[in-house]
Amino acid sequence: MRWKRTIQLLDVHCEGEIGKVAIGGVPKIPGNTIAEQLQWLNTDPKGEELRRFLVLEPRGAPIGSVNLLLPAKHPDADAGFIILQPDQAHASSGSNSICVTTALLESGIVEMKEPETVVTLDTAAGLVRATATCRDGRCEKVRLTMVPSFVHELDVQIDTPHWGRIKLDLCYGGIFYALVDVGQVNLTIEKANAASLVQAGMILKDLINRAIPVVHPEIPAISGVAYVMFRDIDADGAVRTCTTMWPGRADRSPCGTGSSANLATLHARGKAKVGDIFKSRSIIGSEFEVGLQAVTEVAGKPAIIPTITGRGFTFGLSQVALDPFDPMVNGFAMTDVWGPSAGDI
């Protein structure tokens, strides 16, 4: 083989959302912290090349993410990771944290101890504590203690050309979200509406980021609304979610960081207290348990410590390679598969 680069990927999904984990061949990423490495991936041409190589066609696909497994920078962490998606590298994700934890334990990179193994993950957003229930050599479920989540602003109003004035909550759950009650765009959260929800989410995300700049008060590398998450309440009281992801797809999981951000809104409105546990349900019906563990502060802002519990499953092992004569090192995306926004990639 004349391959110039090879990266080994363990295929994992969390409640339906694919989060492949790069467990071998990951190049050295500059930076003294995971946040600095995130910044490099999002600003340096070599970082962009690596991301595009892994997530875009012909090697990648629109579904899921690729998680770069990295040496931990924090002395208390077992491993670090950064999430690669078509738009950029991201700081934090609940479903991807569960995928990474499952990969670390079931591959033997971190020793599995039964009935429970604690894995500490170093992310650009901070440390995430993953408590895995283990039996017979497999990771049955993972409970994440997430980074502090907080409300940036409740009941923000923005004028749109399609739906008139929309009300939303701007919140942080590891990345920034715009949380929108789905009835405002005249849709319901169900599989048949996935394409329409994604199209609405892309329009709203663009409008919001143009109008309202947001930056984490302590981590400047985390800025801008990453996703629009539509929400509703099911008949049994579960929160129904659909997180819309650029350039044009819906998160298959209930979305851990989005559920954390939504929990911060419930606490801010007096609808959630320490010890409460809620059910968060995805567009395909998969579920997370979302708990409010503690209250805290971030740069003087009231914040909460959420927990997210879900399941990860390994389903394959692959190796991605680059032929040095391949002219498509930077990948590509087509609107027929990736959605209308793919024209901007």
In the chain, what are the domain boundaries? 5-144+313-344, 149-310
Q: Is 5-144+313-344's fold the same as 149-310's?
A: yes
Confidence of residue 183 (pLDDT cuts 50, 70, 90): very high
Rounded to whole angstroms, the Cα distance separating 116 from 238 reads 28
pLDDT tens, 42-76?
A: 999 999 999 999 999 999 988 899 999 999 999 99
Is 65 catalytic? The answer is no
Amino acid at 223: S
Query: What is residue 55's predicted lDDT score, i.e. its pLDDT?
Result: 96
Instruction: Specify the DSSP element, H or E, that contains 42.
Output: helix 34-43
What span, in angstroms and rounded, lies between the C-alpha atoms of 124 and 73? Answer: 10
Percentage of residues in the chain having pLDDT higher than 90: 93
Residue 278's pLDDT is 97
Q: Which two tokens stand for residue 120?
A: 């500490």
- Is there a binding annotation on residue 257? yes
262 pLDDT higher than 80 = yes
Token pair 């990948």 is found at: 331
Q: What is the pLDDT of residue 86?
A: 93
Per annotation, catalytic residue among 14, 65, 92, 93: 93
The answer on pLDDT for 265 being more than 90 is: yes
Distance CA 71, CA 73 (A): 6
Mean pLDDT of 130-144: 97
Sort strands 277-281 and 249-250 into parallel, antiparallel or unpaired: unpaired
Residues 6+ apart with CB under 8 A from 153: 169, 170
DSSP state of 229: E
CA distance 308 to 129: 11
Structure tokens at 69: 């497994």
Tell me the pLDDT tens digit for each residue of 219-244: 999 999 999 999 999 999 999 999 99
Q: Which of 255, 259, 282, 286 is catalytic?
A: 255
Within 13 A of 15's CA, how many CA atoms are on the CB side? Answer: 27
* Tokens standing for residue 16: 């339906």
- Cα–Cα dist 162/203, whole Å: 9
Asked if residue 177 has pLDDT above 80, the reply is: yes
In order of 3, 25, 112, the CA distances from 6 in angstroms are 7, 6, 27
- Residue 342's pLDDT band, with cuts at 50, 70 and 90, is confident
Q: What is the mean pLDDT of residues 15-33?
A: 97
Amino acid 340: pLDDT? 81
User: Which structure tokens are listed for 152?
Assistant: 């940036």
Confidence check: pLDDT of 2 > 90: no
Please check if 85 is assigned to a binding site.
Answer: yes
CATH class of 5-144+313-344: alpha beta
256 annotated as belonging to a binding site for a ligand: yes
Chain segment 65-108, per-residue pLDDT in tens: 999 999 999 999 999 999 999 999 999 999 999 999 999 999 99
> Using 50, 70 and 90 to split pLDDT, how confident is the model at 151?
very high
CA–CA dist 9, 82 (Å, integer): 14
Q: Residues 256, 258, 264, CA angle at the centre, nearest 5°?
A: 105
Task: Report pLDDT digits (tens) over 271-292.
Answer: 999 999 999 999 999 999 999 9
Mean pLDDT of 117-124: 98
* Predicted TM-score (pTM) of this structure: 0.95
Q: How confident is the model at residue 341 (pLDDT cuts 50, 70, 90)?
A: confident
What number of H helices and E strands is found in the chain?
A: 6, 18
| CATH architecture designation of domain 149-310 | Roll (3.10)
- How far is it, in rounded angstroms, from Cα 217 to Cα 214? 9
d(Cα 100, Cα 14) in Å, to the nearest integer?
10
Catalytic, 134? Answer: no
Q: How far apart are CA 4 and CA 60, in angstroms?
A: 18
Confidence of residue 343 (pLDDT cuts 50, 70, 90): confident
Consult the annotation and say whether 323 binds a ligand.
Answer: no
